[in-house]
């Protein structure tokens, strides 16, 4: 319904989804299926859908999770498990088209602020339409935050000394220039994560040489980019939706085993990971130095290298790994702590993201600006003192989408429960017994500690030491707990 207030057009929707990435598109699908009575809109800053998979255009961009679990549970994945951004975009486009979601999505709509009024039991959002410069206003009963976790406009680059002296180009993969000419050049990729591991085999064939410069190593697993079980099931003509479900269960079962083995017998798991890499690099290569982190496997996501392509480029001599610290940039390249000099024409800083927890939206609740860090997470999805709002924050180590699907079920169930109770608002609220609860960071740095999260812990909500205030980051626990969550246990306060 549209009205005009203070000369600004105002539109109202029962639910407003922020962002048209994997989480927002999934949210729109589930809402349409599970709560068809609700009106909703998806507002997206960019000119199209896809989020992460639209923003990142660097050579070789691909998933590091398999698409049976990184895809939605409701739409079978039919290609090889590790997918290019292009394949993921096609899949998302099909979800939009097959479910007629496009009519609900408004692109070029950047939300700048969100005010909650308890008197009206609704959110008011100020929105800039980027292509026209128009200021718009939306109101909604429920805000479904699917804005991801990092700033899309630019990536994170550490502040190194001497970058102004460097005579070559410095590029962040998040803002990759379409016309970057790297043919025949010496390229240094700074970073050790999935982005570096993806970029290097894509660049190496055209460059003179690519060096992966890392301060500390990352664990990689490797194998063929094929799921043998899926291939076998296809051969005997099993329905694709069955194959998708069976593949998901098998993959999740195997990941659970791996997670337990990584905790119970870390040394054995480590040696298995090393052995797979040695098959590409040979016995003389110092795998432990370059691919053996100080932490045990699974503390951070173990990135998958399909068909060992990164290692094949190293074996061919087109790529190499240097594990060393940067002292400073100079005119021809980078001076390292070991005293070595690494010359480069192009330096690619695969150094991660700039955490951006609430999509750069200024939140105000009944006139008080929100400090998100002051809140405590309810099941890692809603937050104390913030009414009618849920945030989809997926898994770090399992596929993000597993949690996006589950939070969508939870939000749809909660919306139904509010209707049954005649509640206009729901606010997670600590019980009297929770008042002295120990508050912990959003993620336990001992257990999971990538740079972007550690740099931003002060911006993120906190978690408690008991149910339902824990943010578990464990699919295998949450898959049973979330659907069974008692919405009337007193931690969700409903108001008429
Ligand atoms: C290169 C790369 C590879 C990855 N690979 C994997 C993988 O293999 N497996 C895995 O599980 N995870 C992976 N991830 C993590 C990945 O970000 C998530 O899995 C997933 O794509 C996130 O989807 P999302 O929709 O929650 O957020 P995003 O993809 O970040 O999308 C959020 C959307 O919200 C929009 N938005 C933000 N703020 C506003 C605002 N104020 N107003 C309107 N719109 C707004 C953004 O423009 C964006 O389109 C990867 C991340 C990167 C960067």
Dihedral sign, CA of 271, 276, 280, 283?
positive
Query: What backbone phi and psi angles, to 5 degrees, belong to 266?
Result: -55, -35
Q: What is the largest CA-CA distance in the chain?
A: 73
Distance, C-alpha 134 to centroid of its chain: 30
Q: Which residue has the tokens 């240094």?
A: 188
Phi/psi for 84 (5° steps) reads -75, 165
For residue 471 the two structure tokens come to 């943010």
Alpha carbons 455 and 155: distance in angstroms, whole number: 13
In whole angstroms, give the CA distance from residue 332 to residue 321: 19
Query: How far apart, in whole angstroms, are the C-alpha atoms of residue 267 and residue 446?
Result: 18
419-442 pLDDT, tens digit per residue, is: 999 999 999 999 999 989 999 999
Which stretch of DSSP H or E encloses residue 40? strand 40-43
The protein residue with its alpha carbon nearest to ligand 1, atom 16, reads: 52
Do 334 and 347 contact (CB within 8 A), yes or no? yes
The token duo for 381 is 């999805």
- State residue 304's pLDDT score: 92
Q: 303 is written with which tokens? A: 């990135």
**227 CB within 6 A, ligand 1:** no
Q: Which one-letter DSSP state was computed for residue 366?
A: T
CB atoms within 10 A of CB 2: 8
Task: Pull the structure tokens for residue 50.
Answer: 């896809």
Can you say whether the dihedral through the CA atoms of 271, 273, 279, 283 is positive or negative?
Answer: negative
CA-CA distance, 67 to 212, in Å (whole number)?
27
- State residue 353's pLDDT score: 87
Of the candidates 451, 259, 439, 261, the residue with the CA atom closest to the CA atom of residue 351: 451
Q: What's the rounded Cα separation, in Å, for the pair 270 and 224?
A: 19
Cα(5) to ligand 1 centroid in Å equals 33
Q: Which residues make beta-bridge pairs with 336?
A: 326
Q: How far is CA 435 from the centre of its chain?
A: 32
**267 - beta bridge partners?**
none
Q: What local confidence, expressed as pLDDT, does residue 416 receive?
A: 98
pLDDT at 4: 59
Neighbour tally for 178: CB within 10 Å = 5
The stretches of 154-218 forming alpha helices (DSSP H) are 194-203
Structure tokens at 27: 């949210």
Which atom of ligand 1 lies closest to the CA of 110? 42
Closest atom, ligand 1, to C-alpha of 65: 8
CA 326 – CA 162 distance, rounded (Å): 11
Buried b (16+ CB within 10 A) or exposed e, 56-94: bebbbbbbbbbbbbbbbbebbbeebbbbbbebbbebbee
- As given in the structure block, the two tokens for residue 319 are 């790529």
**Cα–Cα distance, 74 to 408 (Å, whole number):** 12
Q: Which ligand 1 atom minimizes the distance to the CA of 63?
A: 8
**Segment (H or E) for 272:** helix 266-281
Give, as one character, the DSSP assignment of residue 62.
Answer: B
Bridge partners, residue 462, by sequence: 376, 441
pLDDT along the chain (496 residues), means of 10: 69 98 98 98 98 97 96 98 98 98 98 98 98 97 96 91 97 95 98 93 97 95 96 97 98 95 95 97 96 88 92 97 97 97 97 89 98 97 98 93 98 98 98 94 80 84 96 94 97 97
How many C-beta neighbours within 10 Å does residue 197 have? Answer: 26
**How much is the pTM?**
0.96
CA–centroid distance, residue 178 to ligand 1 (Å): 21
Q: According to the model, what pLDDT value does residue 431 have? A: 96
How far is Cα 326 from Cα 319, in angstroms, rounded to an integer? Answer: 19
- Indicate the DSSP class of residue 382: E
Q: If you take atom 9 of ligand 1, which residue's CA is the nearest one?
A: 65
Contact 219, 273 (CB under 8 A): yes
Please provide the DSSP assignment of 25-37 as one string.
Answer: HHHHHHHHHH-TT
In short, whether 81's Cβ falls inside 6 Å of ligand 1 is no
Q: What is the pLDDT of residues 323-379, one digit of tens each?
A: 999 999 999 999 999 999 999 999 999 998 888 889 999 999 999 999 999 999 999
**Ligand 1 near 63 CB (within 6 A):** yes
Encode pLDDT of 186-236 as tens digits.
999 999 989 999 999 999 999 999 999 999 999 999 999 999 999 999 999
* CB of 52 closer than 6 angstroms to any ligand 1 atom: yes
For 7, other C-beta atoms within 10 Å of its C-beta total 6
């Amino acid at each position: 319904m549209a009205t005009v207030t203070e000369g600004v057009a105002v539109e109202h929707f029962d639910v407003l989804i922020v962002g048209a990435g994997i989480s927002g598109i999934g949210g729109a699908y589930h809402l349409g299926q599970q709560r068809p009575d609700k009106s909703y809109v998806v507002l997206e800053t960019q000119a199209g859908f896809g989020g992460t998979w639209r923003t990142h255009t660097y050579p070789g961009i691909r998933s590091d999770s398999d698409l049976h679990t990184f895809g939605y549970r409701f739409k079978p994945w039919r290609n090889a498990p590790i997918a290019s951004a292009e394949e993921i975009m096609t899949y998302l486009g099909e979800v939009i088209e097959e479910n007629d979601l496009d009519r609900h999505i408004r692109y070029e709509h950047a939300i700048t602020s969100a005010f909650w009024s308890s008197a009206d039991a609704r959110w008011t959002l100020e929105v800039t339409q980027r292509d026209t410069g128009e200021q718009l206003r939306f109101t909604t009963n429920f805000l479904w935050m699917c804005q991801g976790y990092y700033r899309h406009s630019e990536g994170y680059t550490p502040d190194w000394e001497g970058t102004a002296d460097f005579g070559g180009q410095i590029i962040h993969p998040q803002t990759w220039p379409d016309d970057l000419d790297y043919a025949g050049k010496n390229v240094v990729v700074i970073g050790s994560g999935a982005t570096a591991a993806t970029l290097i085999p894509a660049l190496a064939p055209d460059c003179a040489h690519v060096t992966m410069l890392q301060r500390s190593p990352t664990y990689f697993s490797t194998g063929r980019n094929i799921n043998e079980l899926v291939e076998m099931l296809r051969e005997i003509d099993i329905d694709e939706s069955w194959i998708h479900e069976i593949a998901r269960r098998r993959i999740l079962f195997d990941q659970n085993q791996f997670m337990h083995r990584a905790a119970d017998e870390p040394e054995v798991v480590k040696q298995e990971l090393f052995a797979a890499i040695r098959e590409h690099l040979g016995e003389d290569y110092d795998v432990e130095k370059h691919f053996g982190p100080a932490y045990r496997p699974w503390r951070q996501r173990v990135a998958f290298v399909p068909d060992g392509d990164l290692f094949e480029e190293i074996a061919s001599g087109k790529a190499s790994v240097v594990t060393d610290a940067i002292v400073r940039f100079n005119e021809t390249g980078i001076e390292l702590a070991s005293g070595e000099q690494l010359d480069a024409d192009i330096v690619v800083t695969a150094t991660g993201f700039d955490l951006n927890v609430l999509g750069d939206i200024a939140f105000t609740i009944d006139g008080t600006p929100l400090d998100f860090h002051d809140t405590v997470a309810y099941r890692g999805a809603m937050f104390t003192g913030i009414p009618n709002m849920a945030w989809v924050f997926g898994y770090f180590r399992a596929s993000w989408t597993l949690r996006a699907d589950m939070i969508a079920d939870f939000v749809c169930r909660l919306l139904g429960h509010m209707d049954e109770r005649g509640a206009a608002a729901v606010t997670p609220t600590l019980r009297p017994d929770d008042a002295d609860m120990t508050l912990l960071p959003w993620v336990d740095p001992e257990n999971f500690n990538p740079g972007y999260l550690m740099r931003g812990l002060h911006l993120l909500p906190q978690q408690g030491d008991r149910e339902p205030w824990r943010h578990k980051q464990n699919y295998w626990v949450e898959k049973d707990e979330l659907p069974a969550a008692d919405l009337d246990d007193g931690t969700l306060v409903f108001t008429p």
